[in-house]
Amino acid sequence: MKIEHIIRNNQLIHQSDEPAKEEKNIEPERRYFSIQEMRASKTDDGKMIIEGYPIVYEKYANIWGFKEIIRQGAATEALKRSDELVLWNHEVDQPMAARKNGTLEAKEDDKGVFIKADISKSVWGRDGYEAIENGIIDKMSFAFDIARGGDNWFWEEIDGIEFEIREIIKFQELYDYSPVSYPAYKDTEVIARSKTLAMRNRTEPEASGKDNTAVLEVLKDARDNINQRREVIKNGYKIIDEKKG
């Protein structure tokens, strides 16, 4: 089966030529992490290097409503067929490095996926390096798809609290690693979108007797409380302005 990279609406998607299935455009999932896990350095010959682990195995990440863990070996097959890029701020027309021209190396070990990229070969890379080195850019992300049957859902108790767990055991493809100034949308929207994409092919976890109704009610009450506080603050400013007038 052939998998092609396609750019539509300024996003990487993949398309299969497998005739038995209807063509689908699949939006990759994306995870964010602190750039503190990456190192930036310059070499004597002018190369600008960023290196580190964008994908870390056996470490829980909190996604809204569940925890996610990537198991050792999840990227083994994907790294054999993927042709990843380092992109500036997710922009597919602003590549900083690529595996196909040797400016990006990606390898797997017991800790996770380690990348080393020379981003000095493009204007976005050179500008981006300065922003990373100076701390203006402090987040990165990576984009991926999960293989069919490549994740499991179940409940597990952690520190006395039971969580729904998503266990990633096999990536289908890795697309890019991107330094980001952070998305133009709110953090909650990032988390909610991550949850939506993660759960699009979710199968029900093993029965645990858990009812999410109570959790949803708590979240709803929290949202309503925030909205009420905003109204109080807004009215407070209005009163202050009236007194000044």
Which of the residue ranges 15-24, 83-92, 199-208 would you say has the lowest mean pLDDT? 15-24
Nearest CA to 166 out of 82, 65, 238, 78 is that of 65
Rounded CA separation 168/107 (Å): 18
* Domain locations along the chain: 29-210, 211-245
Nearest CA to 56 out of 164, 161, 140, 157 is that of 140
Q: Is the pTM of this model over 0.85?
A: no
Task: For Cα atoms 194, 198, 202, give the angle at the middle one, nearest 5 degrees.
Answer: 155
Give the pLDDT band (50/70/90) at residue 198: confident
Statement: residue 236 has pLDDT above 90: no
Tens-place pLDDT, residues 146-190:
999 999 999 998 888 899 999 999 999 999 999 887 644 344 455
Tens-place pLDDT, residues 126-145:
988 988 888 888 788 899 99
Residue written as token pair 């600008």: 48
Give the pLDDT band (50/70/90) at residue 58: very high
Return the pLDDT at 146: 95
Nearest CA to 128 out of 84, 181, 174 is that of 181
Nearest CA to 198 out of 142, 144, 156 is that of 144
Q: Calculate the CA dihedral of residues 37, 99, 1, 10 and round it to 10 degrees.
A: 70
